[in-house]
Amino acid sequence: MTKKLTDDQRAEMLPPLKETGWSKADGRDAIKKTYEFRNFVEAFGFMSKAALWAEKMNHHPEWSNVYKTVEVTLTTHDADGVSELDIKLAKKMDALAQ
C-alpha cells in the first residue's frame, strides 16, 4: 500500500519540482503544473507519451487539455495524498515535455 510522503520527504522531494513549475494544489494534498506547448499536436503527443508511462506505472494523472495547454494534477488516491509515485510521474512528465 503506497503511503503519503512524510514531512521530511516533502521537504526533500518537493523543492526540485517547484523549480520546474510544480506547485501545491489548493485545498488538497496534490501537486499541479500547467504545460504550454507550441500547438495542439505537441500537447497531445505529450499526453500520449505520458499516458503510456502512467499505465506502465499504474499511476494516473488528473489532467485536462485545451488546445496547446495541458493542466496536470498528481495525487495518489489510494494514499489520499502525494506519494513517491507522484514525484516519479512528475519527473517523467517533465522529461517527456522537453
Q: Which residues bind ligand H2B (CB under 6 A)?
A: 58-60, 76-78
- CA 78 to CA 81: how far, in whole Å? 8
* Residue number, nearest CB to ligand H2B: 78
Q: Which is nearer to ligand H2B, 68 or 73 (CB)?
A: 73
Compute the C-alpha angle 67/73/74, nearest 5°. Answer: 140
Q: Which is nearer to ligand H2B, 49 or 60 (CB)?
A: 60
Q: Which is nearer to ligand H2B, 6 or 58 (CB)?
A: 58
Dump strand ranges (E) for the chain.
Answer: 23-24, 31-36, 62-66, 69-74
- CA 89 to CA 75: how far, in whole Å? 10
